């Protein structure tokens, strides 16, 4: 397998599942600099892509689906419009939802940013950060800095052992 293909595989893996990318890279025979650059670039491209995708999905939901599921428009005699609230079933909380809410309430933005590359995957962590902290104008910068830090830390740790 060529070196470019190895770097491309590590790049793609690190954009989605960042935790296993440095070990995969060293397992494929890449050196420290190639590992660090490919995992950092892949993670940052993944964060940027999922950040804008998350913003678009949240806007789409609030624009088209939120009111559709929460208000029922009723016409009476063809000319009166009435907005009647539709009954919404109780929300089910799964173990994953509880974990997300616990992280958001206990650690806040810093906890989500730190845990995104390693514990949460990049798509899930970026979506949660965008959902709860989209008003912070430095959110994308914080997420990219977290990927940079974890990439350097994990690549260094794996290369030493």
Q: How confident is the model over 49-65, as pLDDT tens digits?
A: 999 999 999 888 777 76
* Inside any domain, residue 104: yes
CA gap 161, 151 in Å, rounded: 16
pLDDT tens digits for range 35-93: 999 999 999 999 999 999 999 998 887 777 655 555 555 555 555 555 555 555 556 77
Report which DSSP code applies to 85. Answer: E
* Inside any domain, residue 52: yes
Q: What 3-state DSSP class applies to 118?
A: coil
**Per-residue pLDDT at 16 exceeds 60:** yes
* Inside any domain, residue 108: yes
CA gap 26, 4 in Å, rounded: 14
pTM of the model: 0.77
Q: Total structural domains in the chain?
A: 1
Asked if 3 contacts 32 with a C-beta cutoff of 8 angstroms, the reply is no
* Inside any domain, residue 133: yes
Copy the structure tokens of residue 108. 């806040």
Pick the residue with more confidence: 23 or 97?
A: 23
* Inside any domain, residue 33: yes
**Which domain does 23 fall in, by range?**
3-60+91-160
Burial class (CB in 10 A: 0-12, 13-18, 19+), 112: buried
């Amino acid at each position: 397998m060529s070196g470019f293909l190895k770097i491309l595989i590590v790049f793609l893996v690190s954009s989605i599942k960042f935790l296993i990318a440095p070990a995969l890279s060293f397992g494929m025979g890449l050196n420290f600099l190639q590992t660090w650059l490919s995992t950092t670039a892949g993670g940052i491209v993944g964060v940027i892509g999922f950040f804008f995708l998350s913003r678009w999905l949240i806007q789409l939901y609030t624009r088209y689906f939120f009111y559709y599921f929460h208000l029922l428009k009723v016409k009476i005699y063809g000319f009166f419009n009435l907005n009647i609230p539709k009954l919404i079933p109780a929300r089910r909380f799964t173990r994953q939802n509880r974990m997300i809410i616990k992280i958001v309430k206990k650690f806040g933005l810093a906890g989500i940013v730190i845990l995104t590359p390693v514990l949460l995957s990049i798509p899930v962590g970026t979506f949660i950060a965008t959902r709860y902290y989209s008003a912070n104008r430095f959110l994308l910068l914080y997420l990219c800095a977290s990927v940079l830090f974890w990439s350097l830390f994990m690549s260094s740790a794996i290369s030493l052992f």
